[in-house]
Structure 1
Amino acid sequence: MNEKRVPVITIDGPSGSGKGTICQLLAAKLGFHYLDSGALYRLLALAAKRHGVSLDNMESLAVLAAHMDISFKTRDNGNTPKVMLEGEDVSALIRSEGVGTNASVVAAYPEVRDALLQRQRAFAVSPGLVADGRDMGTVVFPDAIAKVFLTASSEERAQRRYKQLIDKGESVSLAALVERVQKRDERDMTRKVSPMVPATNAVMLDSSTLTIEEVLQKVVDVVAASGIQPPQ
């Protein structure tokens, strides 16, 4: 498997824990590739809606997951790669609350996870990979050289999402967001296949009261302990 030949760092955790930001910063710092595994499930949720595939139809969702036309295109300014679905930049569309909720639904299906497993592992190419998700360290890259499980309180994560949505000009209830975060956590942690749980050898980090810089430094320290040092 690719992850045995190429150094892989996994950062798992719930939505809003900051793992996406940390993964991107870490990948840039190390010169590694970056995998946003959650984007794959969001893409599937969006593709299902566009192709009229019911979220209850596990078999059709699995076929769509295996064959959907997706790609990630690097931006010239080094920011998050553009997420492409059938040739269209859907980077913003897949970040909506509705798509996120539906992504959590389709991610619970074993057939869908199996269909996307090899697509995720294919991202592990030289010089290395930083993988962001919920089961990166437990299922997708079990032999990763360093694993982190990043979390934060549900209230703090809802507050972060609330600020993002307000900044976008969207009207949203903070109380409703807290409830949505808690329900998604429960669904992700209790699904039968690949539940969101820390790998037994993952380092646990709580970002509730930490700045992005403080979290990044802690993760860099974990990675350094595994033998990977950022280039000088």
Structure 2
Amino acid sequence: MSKIIIAIDGFSSTGKSTVAKQLAKHLGYIYVDSGAMYRAVTLFAMQNNFVDDSHFDIEGLVTALHNVSIRFKFNESLDFSEVYLNDKNVEKEIRTLEVSNFVSQVSTIPEVRYQLVKQQQLMGKYKGIVMDGRDIGTVVFPDAELKIFMTASAETKAKRRYQELVERGDEVEYDEVLKNVQERDYIDSHREDSPLVKAKDAIEIDNSNMTIQEQFDKILQLVNKTLVDLE
């Protein structure tokens, strides 16, 4: 059976990564979390004092991009690939609310997007890949055989994100998380370079009232239909 590229786009905290990981494991495909790549660049910017609450040295970050190396390494005990920034495991560090507060700003920089899109397109050269993000179906893989666009209410997304952070041991307030989700949605949708938009041929799924299993089952049906149609 031929392999395809599955592009899953959508707003933050809509469960894109969760279902993408499930699909990749079920199909034996490679999973790439494009959002994690932007988070890694954001962490790099924070570590090197290019961005904080009072300033954003865009020129400095762009100049230093050649020092950024991002790769995914599969962790058998966790059963998913973790993110490495310059050979250091940063999987937990990039998931903090601090990184979330700056990632949308960093991802609007054209030079950052250009470098990461090039890497992402190379990853899909031989297909058999599931990638989730903000512009996978519109910019990275405009010819992907299956495109999904995921949405959910801001309150639903904030509750999911809040629960995730609390379970990890982070001390956060729900209102702070909700504000972060709303701000990221606005920035992602209104940036000049590769704004978050639904591809014309993408299938929209609102999972506000869906369980993780229901979401997986629905998208797997779409995958199977796509594979059958290609035969």
TM-score by length of 2: 0.91
Q: Cα distance, 1:88 vs. partner?
A: 1.3
User: What is the CA distance between 1:63 and its match in structure 2?
Assistant: 4.0
Deviates more, 1:28-37 or 1:42-51: 42-51
Give the alignment partner of residue 19 of structure 2, picking from 4, 18, 22.
Answer: 22
Q: Distance in 2 between matches of 1:21 and 1:137?
A: 18
Structure 1 residues 179, 74: CA separation in 2 closer, same or farther (over 3 Å shift)?
A: same
Distance 1:228 1:59 in 2: 48
Gaps of 5+ in 2: none
C-alpha RMSD of the superposition: 1.9
Match of 1:212 in 2: 212
Instruction: Give a deviation string over 1:46-95, Cα, whole Å, max 9, x none.
Output: 11122233473334333444541222111123622121112211110000
Does residue 142 of structure 1 match 2:142?
yes
Aligned residue number for residue 49 of structure 2: 52
Structure 1: state its 5+ residue gaps.
none
Give the SS at the match of 2:75. Answer: coil
Q: How many residues align?
A: 225
Runs of 4+ aligned structure 1 residues displaced above 4 Å come to: none
Q: What is the identity percentage for the equivalent residue pairs of Structure 1 and Structure 2?
A: 38
Task: Indicate how the Cα distance of structure 1 residues 172 and 53 shifts in structure 2: closer, same or farther if over 3 A, else same.
Answer: closer
Name the structure 2 match of 1:35. 32
Q: Distance in 1 between matches of 2:178 and 2:78?
A: 32
TM-score by length of 1: 0.90
- The equivalent of 2:112 in structure 1 is 112
Alpha-carbon distance in structure 2 between the residues aligned to 1:224 and 1:51: 45
The equivalent of 1:85 in structure 2 is: 85
**Contact conserved, 1:66 with 1:116, CA < 8 A, in 2?**
no
Name the SS of the counterpart of 2:14 in structure 1: coil
Moved more, 154-163 or 115-124: 115-124
